Amino acid sequence: MFRNYFKIALRNFVKHKTYSVINLAGLGIAITCCLLLGLFLQQEWRFDRFHSKADRLYRPWVREIHQNEPIVNTITPYPLGPAMVAALPEVEAMTRIVTLDVNTQRNGDIFNERVHLVEPDFFRMFDFPLLNQPPGNPLTQLKDAVLTEEIAQKYFGNQNPIGQTFRMQLDSAMETYTVRAVAKNVPANSSIRFGILLSFENIKPLRSQKQMNHWQQVEAETYVLLKSGVEVKQVAAKLPAMVKTATNNKFKPGEYVVNLQPITAIHLDNTLPQGIEPVSNPAYSYILATIALFILVIACINFMTLAIGRSAGRAREVGVRKVMGAIRQQLVYQFWGEALLMTLAAVVVGVLLTVLLLPAFNELADRQLIFKLDSTTLLSLFVLVAVVGLVAGSYPALVLSRFQPVEVLKGKLTLKGDQNWFRRTLVVVQFGLSVFLMVGTLVMNRQLNYLQAMPLGFKTDRTVVIPVNKGGEEGLAIVERYRNALSSHKEIANITASAFAFGTGAWADVGFNDKNKVFRSFQMNMIDPEFIPVYNIKLVAGRNFDQNNTADKYTAFIINEAFVKAFGLPDPLNQKLPGDFPAHQIIGVVEDFHYASLHSKVEPLLLVQRPDSLFAGINDLMFQSSPDPDISVRLQPGAVAEQVALLEQTWKKVLPDEPFSYTFLDENIASQYQQEKRLGTIVTIASGLSIFISCLGLFGLATLAVARRTKEIGVRKVLGASVGDIISLLSKDFIALVVVANILAWPLAWYGLHQWLQDFAYRVDVGWWLFGLAGAATLLIALLTVSFHSVRAALVNPVKSLRTE
Amino acid sequence: MIKIENLEKVYRTEEVETKALNKVSIEVNEGEFVAIMGPSGCGKSTLLNILGLLDEPDGGSFKFIGTEISKFNERNRADLRKKNIGFVFQSFNLIDELTVFENVELPLIYLGVSAAERKEKVEKVLEKMQIMHRRNHFPQQLSGGQQQRVAVARAVINNPKLILADEPTGNLDSTNGNEVMELLTELNEAGTTVIMVTHSEHDARYAHRIIRLLDGEVVMENVREQFTV
Ligand SMILES: Nc1ncnc2c1ncn2[C@@H]1O[C@H](COP(=O)(O)OP(=O)(O)O)[C@@H](O)[C@H]1O
Ligand SMILES: [Mg+2]
């Protein structure tokens, strides 16, 4: 019996090629989308779950109320971890992780690396396996190091790295470190991402005792492992008492709150500020999951509408089989079997396409996803086949199988009213989803273009940014040496240095108590007198820093208009900062420029050359990115590569011990919108595909409709209908459906996009004309698809079509 | 074998009510060859479909081999049908996607006959119908007469006690039509009861008895011998 079903399924497949190819292509593409997006989402949603103790690992974070202003941090103060271990017997292990950006040296090659300083428990809390090494802490000495395979390969090639040495500068001088172990590369779905591990003890010489015990200075991520069987609530309840004891009653209740975040929640929680590594916007995973589902639904609908369109043909088969003794159940099995077979074929196509397209998708999504046919994948594929097959095959299985042989065999079976409605509803849903995605694409791209075209208030073109990896006086000395070396080259005239450049990280966050003892904050950057002219930032009042005015160096501030507004300074040049700051002068006001990404409004900003004097008056300072100087060079018109080469040669000549690297400013700025841009591209492709699949279905339906109405068309033509009449006769139905789909999809799309745009401080309005555009586009595409058939049918000689009966 | 009494069938559409069969009573004995005749729309097919358990009557009684089946449910009727009745249609009703062999095999599949046995039976019947050489062809590749022979082969494959034929020669030329009539006669002579709907007086002559319907009622029953004499 099954062989018979299989045979007839196969023959049906071959005989109705258009139909089969449409189904196969539609489902195949949809399954490819699902697999690719599924791989992506699997990684997003299973972040950090590879740790065998993941369910017991927590990251404490701190919420401090400072003068009614909450300050939330996932980067924690140093004393937190030890205090938790001391006070909470439920804590089985603890490590603090602090990162340093340092210069390293191996055989004359200089690199800049981010090193992670970790405590001994690190190795038993997390699953970062060491190669050929018993588990345990390999970092017993201060100058021991663990490298990942990748870094080991980079430093030592194919030599055995264990016992090898390299040099690294954490403090004032290069020192020798010895490789004690090699760790497997950190998996892509880890929130802790290291290349080099050092003992935590290395931080102690670099920080004062006061800093190491300070509860309001944050620098390290802290992780704790709870004992098994311990309820996290239990531990959380003890934390207020712990804070109270550990800080000697320094804070009022509720003023300094420690919370625990499960390690598995870190990656998709963007309500907390990021820690050492960036997190993902969880909305984006939901958007992608929705898109995958949409496409799959669209392909399933194709399957169903085409099955309905073909039901007249298949009804006869149902009738004959029933006359021959088949009962309904057997036909249900047969039709579902066929649908499952088709889905299975589509999954094979989907898997092949996935393998083929994965590299391109990885590029697009900036991931290193791997597709393996392991047991989980096979299981999910199995579930996919089952669900899609059962859903897609439900119409023929449940409705066709119910046909009564008497009626069918009389040969006058027509679609009943409710079946027609069902089919129409499906087409409307299908096109509604496509319209939704298309409007989404248009609005997303419009928003991205808007952001990219928005004047930022400073010049971004032809600018190269070179990071200096040393801080303090040493960093400034490097800047001066480089500036002098370049001064002999006329072609490079515009050079400036600042603590923070654009697009590579947040500027410093400064908190102070104003005259009324209210905690206020602003952003800050340390710049040189060249910064404002080189970046072409507009001064609206006062003047720039003067190179020759020594007083300017420490006590002169330049603020932006947002600062003026936020702190109510009607005559800023003759006023002081509204706090307890040492003697200073506001010498200039600049027009607001977008030094942060356009996700946020321009915040109050203060520019200073040397911050020492300013720092004497502040209560809080937060660097989210390194304040080591960044040198910005604006290139002259002409060959970029030659000028960059000149920059590198000059650097290597005067600063042979410093690594040279550079980025282009406009690329850095664009990278702030990477997530949106990737999402935009994925949504664009997805909506294109969804429309393509919908049109495949429409094409199939039109084929069937024309085939069914061949005779009618012939008769009408004989009676005098024009080609235009026939085309409109055949297209009318479909066009009406597409119009209804548009009208239904618009409000939903508007709502969804409105939500998405809330993420941006500067946003386009959704714009009703975009809906019109999407509507016109879908209509046109649908019309073209249908007209391929209707025109052909209309042009055919009526004598021919009448003879087909 | 078949005994129906006061059988009624009413079709209701939105406005019209058609009495397709009005108190029809007929008896058909085992081994008979009966022709049903009458003008178009008089209820012949309706009657045949009810006799073939494809359709339910709205009233009256229907005894099939001694069992009252007018109240049988769909499943029981399907069961009774596949074991006892073979069908031949005017428009052949072969499945286009199946070969000759597979079309003929179909009833055996639903009877749960093993593959080996099916092969043997199908080959035997194809041999008998002289279309063995076409066993791997698809219906569209055959002439009308050949298609109807396949349909007859399919109808007799499970040795039914009763064969119902609804205008079996309606789509055939006279040569092919006669061939099919010869086949039915042979089957009847071998013991199968045959009930055939036809428009053709010529074909009706193959039957032992003719039942004439008009507007859903039996107007005349006569034995062929009387009729032709
Ligand atoms: N499914 C149906 N719905 C409504 N009326 C029907 C249906 N089938 C048959 N009829 C009507 O019942 C009558 C008998 O039809 P039928 O048995 O097919 O006639 P015949 O086969 O003798 O030409 C006709 O008037 C026909 O229109
Ligand atoms: Mg009829």
CA of B33 to the centre of ligand 1 (A): 24
Residues of A at the B interface, defined by Cβ within 8 angstroms: 1, 4, 7-8, 11-12, 15, 316-317, 319-328, 330, 404-406, 409-411
Best B18, B47, B50, B54 member to test A by mutation, with max A CBs in 10 Å, is B54
- Asked whether residue A317 carries a pLDDT value surpassing 60, the answer given is yes
DSSP conformation letters of B32-87: -EEEEE-STTSSHHHHHHHHTTSS--SEEEEEETTEE-TT--HHHHHHHHHHHEEE
d(CA B148, CA B203): 15
In this structure, what token pair is assigned to residue A632?
């910005």
Helix (H, G, I), strand (E, B) or coil at A97: strand
Q: CA-to-CA distance for A58 and A231, rounded, in angstroms?
A: 12
**Which of B95, B97, B119 would you mutate first to test chain A, the one with the most A CBs within 10 A?**
B97
Residue A303 half-sphere exposure toward CB, CA atoms < 13 A? 33
Query: With contact defined as beta carbons under 8 Å apart, do A176 and A167 qualify?
Result: yes
pLDDT of B226 reads: 46
- CB-based contact B91 A325, cutoff 8 Å: no
Q: Which of B83, B94, B97 sits opposite A8 (nearest CB)?
A: B97
Query: Is A787 a residue whose pLDDT tops 90?
Result: no
**Best substitution site from B14, B45, B54 to test ligand 1's pocket, by max atoms within 8 Å of Cβ?**
B45
Provide the b/e sequence for B22-50 (b: ≥16 CB within 10 Å).
Answer: bebebebeeebbbbbbbeeebbbbbbbbb
Closest-CA distance, A786 to chain B, in angstroms, reads: 28
Question: Residue A322: closest CA among chain B residues belongs to which residue?
Answer: B78
pLDDT range class, residue A799, cuts 50, 70, 90: low
Query: Which residues are paired to A586 by β-bridges?
Result: A557
Give the closest residue to A343 by CA, choosing from A39, A13, A688.
Answer: A13
Number of the ligand closest to the Cα of B44: 1
Of B54, B95, B109, the CB nearest to A406: B54
Distances (CA, A) of A594 to A30, A246, A333, A669, B133: 41, 42, 64, 10, 85
**Per-residue confidence at B223, pLDDT binned at 50, 70, 90?**
low
* pLDDT given at position A267: 94
DSSP A506: P
pLDDT on residue A511:
86
- In which region does residue A247 sit, left (phi positive, over 0), alpha (psi from -120 to 50) or beta (all else)? alpha
Give distance in angstroms: CA of B22 to centre of ligand 1: 13
**Nearest CA, atom 2, ligand 1:** B11
Three-class DSSP category at B127: helix
Chain length of chain A: 805
Please state which architecture CATH assigns to domain B33-55+79-223: 3-Layer(aba) Sandwich (3.40)
Q: Does B154 touch chain A (CB under 8 A)?
A: yes
Q: Alpha helices, DSSP H only, in chain B? A: 44-51, 74-84, 100-111, 115-129, 144-156, 174-189, 201-204, 224-228
Please report the pLDDT score of residue A805 as a whole number: 38
Instruction: Write the pLDDT tens digit of every residue in A4-17.
Output: 777 777 887 887 88
Q: What is the Cα–Cα distance from A68 to A71, expressed in whole angstroms?
A: 9
| Tokens standing for residue A740 | 């209804």
Pair A778, A298: CB distance under 8 Å: no
Establish, for the pair of chains A and B, how many residue pairs have beta carbons separated by less than 8 Å.
Answer: 64
Least confident of A81-90, A457-466, B216-225: B216-225
Q: What is the pLDDT of residues B32-41, one digit of tens each?
A: 999 999 999 9
**How far A770 CA lies from chain B's nearest CA (Å)?**
47
Strands A221-226, A165-169: pairing kind:
unpaired
pLDDT at A754 over 50: yes
pLDDT digits (tens, 9 = 90+) for A193-213: 999 999 999 999 998 998 899
- Report the distance separating Cα A14 and Cα A480, nearest Å: 76
* A316, containing H or E segment: helix A311-323
pLDDT at B228: 42
Distance CA A140, CA A198 (A): 10
CA angle, corner A353, sides to A349 and A356, nearest 5? 145
Quote helix, strand, coil % in chain A, to nearest 5.
Answer: 50, 15, 30
Determine whether the interchain pair B95/A321 forms a contact, defined as Cβ–Cβ distance below 8 Å: yes
> Which range is least confidently modeled, A142-146, A419-423, A694-698, B103-107?
A419-423
Q: What are phi and psi of A377, to 5 degrees?
A: -60, -45
Give the binding-site residues of ligand 1, using a 6 Å CB cut-off.
A 407; B 11, 13, 18, 20, 38, 40-46
ipTM of the prediction: 0.84
Q: What percent of chain A has pLDDT over 70?
A: 97
Which residue from A265, A314, A304 is spatially nearest to A74, judged by alpha carbons?
A: A265
Average pLDDT over residues A641-646: 88
Q: A416 pLDDT band (50/70/90 cuts)?
A: low
- Please tell me the distance from the alpha carbon of residue A532 to that of residue A477, in angstroms, as a whole number: 21
Backbone angles phi, psi at A63, to 5 degrees: -125, 115
Cβ distance of A317 and B74 shorter than 8 Å: no
Residue A768, pLDDT above cutoff 90: no
Domain boundaries, chain A: 1-47+271-415, 57-265, 425-453+671-805, 463-670
Could you tell which of B12, B42, B219 is best to mutate to test the pocket of ligand 1, judged by most ligand atoms within 8 Å of the CB?
A: B42
pLDDT digits (tens, 9 = 90+) for A673-717: 887 888 888 888 988 888 888 888 888 888 777 777 777 777 777
Question: What is d(CA A82, CA A101) in angstroms, rounded to the nearest whole number?
Answer: 25
Name the residue facing B107 among A325, A405, A410 (closest C-beta).
A325
What pLDDT is recorded for position A708? Answer: 75
Classify residue A579 by its DSSP letter: B
Here the tokens at position A440 are 């989404």
Q: Report pLDDT for A51.
A: 97
pLDDT digits (tens, 9 = 90+) for A426-444: 889 988 998 898 888 888 8
The first and second tokens of residue A333, run together, are 């099995």
Report CB contact under 8 Å: B96, A327. no
Taking residue A238's Cβ as centre, other Cβ atoms within 10 Å add up to 14
Q: Cα angle vertex A634, ends A630, A636, to 5°?
A: 155
pLDDT tens profile B132-148? 999 999 998 999 999 99
Query: Which of B84, B109, B141 best tests the A interface by mutation, with the highest count of A CBs <10 A?
Result: B109
> What is the structure's pLDDT at A412?
53
Question: Does A651 score more than 80 pLDDT?
Answer: yes
**pLDDT digits 0-9 by tens, A157-182:** 999 999 999 999 888 788 999 999 99
Average pLDDT, chain A: 88
Q: What is the pLDDT of residue A368?
A: 85
CB A10 within 8 A of CB A24: no
Amino acid at A320: V
- Is residue A276 within 8 Å of residue A99, measured between CB atoms? yes
Nearest-CB residue to B81 (from A319, A325, A328): A325
Residue B229 has pLDDT above 80, yes or no: no
Question: CB distance A7–B102 less than 8 Å?
Answer: yes
Closest-CA residue of B relative to A328 is B75
Distances (CA, A) of A547 to A544, A553, A608: 9, 8, 13
What distance in Å separates residue B185's CA from the closest CA in chain A? 22
Ligand 1: which of B46, B90, B199 to mutate, most ligand atoms within 8 Å of CB?
Answer: B46
Give the pLDDT confidence score for residue B163 in this predicted structure: 95
- Which listed ligand is nearest to B165 at the C-alpha? 2
Domain range annotation of chain B: 33-55+79-223
Q: Decide if pLDDT at A243 tops 90.
A: yes
Contacts of A411 in chain B (CB under 8 A): 91
